[in-house]
């Protein structure tokens, strides 16, 4: 693909940056040459599986640079202060300094961990996100939010650290296991629910094409979904208002992930179940019809995403939600769908209402 066929969306922020769509891994080096501040040393942080697939292609364009690879084991549990310390030790061993550039090559876990490392190493160094999963391409690589987990909750320790650029190569999705595809689909459907009813219709009508991984349909899906994220982040970079809508399903989903110690449920599965719980809560508050709740459930099920979970204690999950970052003054702040294509920030949800929503998605 030539550069003329790439798409570029600009994230308008305190420090704006481009999201390149359809940009080949091999050509990242040429882009780095164009940056006003010279790059000499690069730390690529990734998983071994991802490096086995893509390191050779990425390194083709980085021959003019001093490059070191930092390999992180796979899994959400690696987003920890312990792993952050180990990355710091390795970076210093390789001579990293304030001019070093971090390249986060991978999915959401790598983007969060490598991004948080870049935000705190020597008070902050440059970062480029190279997302290789659907979830990362449509959501987590855009917006500058980086974090690690704490036993009390997911992403409790974090920062806003915008990248120099987001470099999205669609071909990395070709080898993606379907369970990883589901993670991204949950976030993409969330984007449709909060801000783009036409995108929701697209997901309803393109089930077969998406499931068979039709390249043109996937390109359209990633472009439209990431455009929603860019538009919202550009309006509210620091999550003081509208950006909070992107957390639809996440208060419930993060509680579930934390309760299960990030095992047995993926992020996308947690978000999917969380979206359904939020929809039931919205229905109880008169924001959405039961027919619309069922429509949401059916769409998620079409893509193999779960809408219920078994063996969980609603009271324990409610307790987990106490640690949610969005809460204010002891009140739980939840994002609820208002029809399909709109959402609202709700600050008046009672614990009894939240428990009732949990009961809707917890099966015996």
CA–CA dist 180, 178 (Å, integer): 5
Strands 334-337 and 343-346: antiparallel
- Give yes or no for residue 97 having a pLDDT over 60: yes
Percent of the chain with pLDDT over 90: 91
211: CATH: 1.20.1090.10
With bands split at pLDDT 50, 70 and 90, how would you rate the model's confidence at 13?
confident
Do 259 and 331 belong together in one domain? yes
In this predicted structure, what is the pLDDT of residue 2? 52
Q: Are residues 218 and 345 in the same domain?
A: yes
Considering the domain architecture, whether residues 18 and 132 belong to the same structural domain is answered as: yes
pLDDT, tens digit, 9 for 90 and up, residues 43-75: 999 999 999 999 999 999 999 999 999 999 999
Kindly state whether residues 145 and 218 are assigned to the same domain. Answer: no
Range of the domain at 44: 3-173
Query: Is residue 89 domain-shared with residue 203, that is, in the same domain?
Result: no
Domain boundary among 118, 145, 173: 173
CB contact at 8 A, 158 and 167: no
Report how far residue 108's alpha carbon sits from residue 265's, in angstroms, rounded to the nearest whole number. 15
Residue 81's domain is classified under what CATH number?
Answer: 3.40.50.1970
Query: H or E stretch including 352?
Result: helix 351-361
How far, in Å, CA of 147 to CA of 167, rounded?
20
- Same domain for 41 and 106: yes
Question: Of 283, 270, 267, whose CA–CA distance to 337 is shortest?
Answer: 283
The DSSP secondary-structure symbol of 140 reads: I
Is 60 exceeded by the pLDDT of residue 1?
no
pLDDT at 226: 96
By CB neighbour count within 10 A (0-12 exposed, 13-18 middle, 19+ buried), where does 108 fall? buried
Instruction: For residue 322, name the pLDDT band (cuts at 50, 70, 90).
Output: confident
Is pLDDT of 309 > 90? yes
Query: CA-to-CA distance for 90 and 70, rounded, in angstroms?
Result: 7
Is the same domain home to 215 and 80?
no
Among candidate residues 50, 144, 29, 41, the one with its CA nearest the CA of residue 97 = 41
Q: How far apart are CA 146 and CA 61, in angstroms?
A: 26
Q: Is the separation of the CB atoms in 148 and 84 below 8 Å? A: yes
* Cα 299 from Cα 307, distance rounded (Å): 10
Residues annotated as catalytic (active site), given as ranges = 123, 145, 187, 229, 239, 243, 247, 250, 254, 267
Quick: pLDDT tens for 111-133. Answer: 999 999 999 999 999 999 999 99
Domain count, the chain: 2
User: Where residue 326 falls among pLDDT bands split at 50, 70, 90?
Assistant: confident
Clarify whether residues 116 and 163 are in a common domain.
yes
pLDDT band at 4 (very low <50, low <70, confident <90, very high): low
- Please indicate, yes or no, whether residues 215 and 77 belong to a single structural domain of this protein: no
The 10s digit of each residue's pLDDT in 149-199 is 999 888 999 999 999 999 999 999 998 999 999 999 999 999 999 999 999
pLDDT, residue 221, reads 97
In the listed set 123, 152, 173, which residue is the last one of a domain according to the structure? 173
**Domain identity same for 29 and 144:** yes
Q: Three-state DSSP class for 36?
A: coil
Residues 29 and 161 placed together within one structural domain of the fold: yes
Please report where in the chains the tokens 């650290």 appear, as a residue.
161
Looking at the structure, tell me whether residues 120 and 247 fall in a common domain. no
Show the tokens assigned to 95.
Answer: 């001579």
Domain boundary among 151, 173, 195: 173
- Three-state DSSP class for 204? helix
What does the alpha-carbon distance between residue 22 and residue 140 come to, in Å, rounded to a whole number? Answer: 17
End-to-end CA distance of the chain: 51
């Amino acid at each position: 693909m030539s550069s003329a066929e790439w798409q570029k969306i600009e994230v308008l922020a305190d420090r704006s940056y481009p999201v390149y769509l359809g940009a080949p891994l091999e050509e990242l080096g040429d882009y780095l040459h164009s940056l006003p501040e010279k790059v000499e040393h690069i730390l690529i942080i990734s998983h071994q599986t991802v490096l086995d697939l893509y390191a050779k292609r990425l390194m083709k364009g980085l021959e003019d640079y001093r490059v070191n690879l930092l390999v992180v084991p796979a899994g959400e549990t690696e987003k920890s202060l312990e792993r952050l310390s180990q990355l710091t030790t390795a970076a210093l061993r390789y001579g990293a300094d304030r001019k070093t550039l971090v390249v986060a090559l991978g999915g959401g876990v790598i983007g969060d961990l490598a991004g948080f490392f870049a935000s705190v190493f020597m008070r902050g160094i440059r970062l480029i996100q190279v997302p290789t999963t659907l979830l990362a391409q449509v959501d987590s690589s855009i917006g500058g939010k980086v974090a690690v987990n704490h036993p009390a909750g997911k992403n409790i320790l974090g920062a806003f650290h915008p990248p120099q650029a987001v470099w999205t190569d669609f071909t990395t999705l070709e080898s993606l296991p379907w369970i990883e595809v589901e993670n991204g689909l949950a976030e993409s459907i969330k984007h449709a629910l909060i801000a783009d009813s036409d995108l929701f219709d697209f997901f309803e009508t393109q089930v077969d094409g998406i499931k068979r991984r039709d390249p043109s349909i996937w390109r359209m899906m990633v472009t439209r979904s990431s455009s929603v994220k860019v538009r919202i982040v550009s309006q509210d970079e620091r999550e003081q208002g509208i950006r909070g809508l992107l957390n639809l399903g996440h208060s419930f989903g993060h509680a579930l992930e934390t309760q299960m110690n990030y095992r047995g449920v993926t992020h996308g599965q947690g978000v999917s179940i969380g979206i359904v719980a939020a929809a039931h809560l919205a229905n109880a508050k008169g924001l959405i019809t039961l027919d619309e709740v069922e429509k949401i459930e059916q769409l998620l099920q079409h893509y193999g995403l779960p809408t219920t979970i078994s063996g969980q204690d609603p009271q324990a999950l409610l307790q987990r939600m106490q640690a949610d970052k969005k809460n204010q003054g002891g009140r739980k702040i939840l994002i609820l769908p208002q029809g399909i294509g709109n959402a609202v920030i709700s600050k008046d949800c009672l614990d009894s209402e939240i428990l009732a929503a949990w009961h809707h998605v917890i099966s015996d």
